[in-house]
A and B are shown apart, each in its own frame.
Chain A
Amino acid sequence: MPHVLVVYTDDEPGVLTRVASLFRRRSFNIHSLTVGPTERVGLSRMTIVVDSDAPRVRQAVEHLRKLVNVLEVQQLGERPMVVRDLVLVRVATAPEVRSEVLQLAQVFRAAVVDIAEDSLVIECTGSLAKIDALVDSMRPFGILELGRTGAVAMARGTRTPSPSRPAVPLRTGAGPEAMSV
């Protein structure tokens, strides 16, 4: 069963490796992992979707909580949440099917973001199920290229504030040119 975790971390080189390493060691398959900055400087937020049984996920969560770079781990799924995925899909569009593809895209409230002679790039945001459905509906026309961001999730209801950073951020790492995580 897929479990959705939200992990707040320092925005530092190497953090992604530390987090990924915990799952790799336990032979978890990470379904998706997204990471990006938050409203606070120096704080990153990951959404991780993993497929495993609950006790093993609980163990992984406890191990995540031991990482020095991890400020907080939330296990969503224990409460209502919003999960969104974004897809860019390049669909083959011979002249006779182009209008049909455009209509289908409209049904999914997807946007056409690029048009070429023989293909369209469609962008769509939505739940994992909606994106799956869009992709399935495009498949008969011929999918030339497809990229998904993976899930970004947030609990519904009262806002959980992002954890605050300590007053003295520790700067270690390969310098400003390094990737953010």
Chain B
Amino acid sequence: MTQPGTYTGAQLIWESLIREGVDTVFGYPGGAILPTYDAMTEYTIRHVLVRHEQSAAHMADGYARASGRVGVVVATSGPGATNLVTGLATAMLDSTPLVAITGQVGSALLGTDAFQEVDITGITIPVTKHNYLVTRAEDIVPAIREAFAVARSGRPGPVLVDITKDAQQSRATLDWEAAVPQRHLRHLPAPLDPSVLAQALDLIRQAKRPIILAGHGIQLSGARAEVLALAERADIPLALTLLGLGAVPATHPLSLGMMGMHGEAWVNRAIQEADLLLAFGMRFDDRVTGKLKEYAPHAKKIHIDIDASELNKNVPVDVAIVADLGDVLRALLPEVPVADRSSWLGTIREWRGDSAVRDIKNLPDDGHLYAAHVMHDLWRLTKGEAVVVTDVGQHQMWEAQYYKHDGERSLITSGGAGTMGFALPAAIGAKIARPEAEVWVVAGDGGFQMTFAELMTAVQEGVKVNIAVINNGYLGMVRQWQALFYEGRYAATPILSPDFVKLADAFGIHGQRVETRGDVAAAVVQARAAGGTALIEFKVEQEDSVYPMVPAGAALHEMIRRPSALAETGSDPV
């Protein structure tokens, strides 16, 4: 019997999502979520049917990272829910706001090992900011509303709401205002402490060789203008983390480029020689610090992050500020003295020398195609304006080195988790979030084979992404480690691929293969012009490695450079 003024739990889910401003969900139906899918037909909301739930989470992740909105995933109980786990972990480590809604068996069956029953709230505790097991229709709206608030607030992240089938089927009233969330406010940072800001200003005033470490938090905080204003006013160069790429324009005169394991040598050297680090929304991950004991030994350190647990975690700092970065910089800016650090900037320029172009210039002119060529040409041909979504491995690092990201949210990549298979689904999500953007997938032959079933999702949804598969016939980054650290024993790294052109054909999309540098540009032009999703397979040099490289556990200045035997044969392909 339908009571007036009440809704089914399934309807309440959609009512809540629409009130939270959701226009698209990524999902896969199944038994325990069926009432919710049935109710979906009453609402104007786009549902993207994925081919695997892991991809749904990555799509929502790409959607969120491209737009700054919350990405939403829907999946059924049991395997539907467990398939989300990798995607949730990816979002957790890279601070992406997601809300995952999963169906659960009826509440009377909880704990009985019923068909497709899995304790997904238990499983996802470490990979979500918070999760909910909802067993009553009247709890759905408060849980979803709070889930969005938690996902967005502070350091963003994924939240899972597991809703039993009977909760979806039973009825409750909708009182949106009574469900206003409050608990996410428990952990907001304290107001800025003027004495701590004064300490930071003192360090900035005294510094001769300061450097800003620009992280993902800049984009999450929306603090690009403030960061640039501070850098320009105090004449401080910027070194970027992988997820910081795009936070400030790569072509800005103060932007040095990427730091860390595959960062530029002069950037790492600048960090090692600096007398002040200003860490903005970054977390001193082991991939950017190298050996902690020898990290930036001469530098005082100011660390600003919204997550208190990141402060003094890996690197002890002199001034730790828990706050939204933009708020801190707006408070600091008027007090920051105008400075001219041309001598420090000149020193870095000397270290840089010609090495900015040296690596790509020095690639051997042996007729082989190198991934660096592809990235460089892709950057040139798209004028650096594309949103590039990368997978994980060598191609990811080459992209980071050779594609100069000027725009915010223009690089989407799995940094913290390093999740292979991320690129294609995340790119589909990014394109749906920003249909006007040109979206490129850059993936390796290994990672692409993990999730390429989503090509069909792109086709079904009419989504155009351009795909560059960098095929070197190896799980390249692992092969590189085997070459450098395991005496060249290539255990399980050679990998066969299907004929990607035929594969593209089977999916009904444009496909082509490129094996020489001269064909790169034409292929990119054709892929862009193709009506729908287009795939280019780039058959690149098989045993190329990413340089420079700080071996894991080495100090940041102990970099392996490209072997000179290669470097001496270079022509000038740039």
Contact surface of A with B, Cβ cutoff 8 Å? 10, 13-14, 17-18, 21, 25, 55, 58-59, 62-63, 65-71, 166-168, 170-175
Contacts and interface: CB of A to CB of B under 8 A. Distances in A.
Nearest to A65: B187
B94 interface: no
Given A55-B312, A59-B309, A17 B125 contact: yes
Interface residues of B, number: 33
Given A62-B308, A168-B142, A170-B139, 12 more contacts: A21-B125, A21-B126, A58-B312, A66-B154, A68-B150, A68-B184, A68-B186, A168-B179, A171-B142, A172-B133, A172-B143, A175-B107
A167 B182 contact: yes
Contacts of A21: 125-126
Q: Which secondary structure dominates where chain B touches chain A? A: helix
Contacts of B132: 172
B313 interface: yes
A170 B142 contact: yes
B143 A170 contact: yes
A18 B182 contact: no
B91 to A, nearest CB: 16
Contacts of B150: 68
Contacts of A14: 121, 133
Contacts, number: 72
B307 interface: yes
Interface of B: 107, 110, 121-122, 125-126, 129-130, 132-136, 139, 142-143, 146, 150, 154, 178-180, 182-184, 186-187, 307-309, 311-313
Nearest to B139: A172
A47 B126 CA distance: 22
A71 B186 contact: yes
B434 to A, nearest CB: 30
B183 A170 contact: yes
Given A172-B132, A174-B133, A68 B307 contact: no
Contacts of B125: 17-18, 21
B155 to A, nearest CB: 8
Given A168-B178, A168-B182, A68 B130 contact: yes
A68 B183 contact: yes
B10 to A, nearest CB: 17
A17 B124 CA distance: 12
Contact of B135 (A17, A170, A175): A175
Contact of B146 (A25, A67, A170): A170
Nearest to B145: A170
Contact of A25 (B126, B130, B180): B126
B229 to A, nearest CB: 30
B129 A68 contact: yes
A55 B126 CA distance: 21
A54 to B, nearest CB: 11
A167 B178 CA distance: 10
A71 B182 CA distance: 12
Contacts of A69: 130, 183
Contacts of A66: 129, 154, 187, 307-309
A40 B117 CA distance: 35
Contacts of A171: 136, 139, 142
Contacts of B154: 66
A58 B313 CA distance: 9
B135 A174 contact: yes
A67 B150 CA distance: 10
Contact of A168 (B107, B134, B135, B180): B180
Contacts of A170: 139, 142-143, 146, 183
Contacts of B308: 62, 65-66
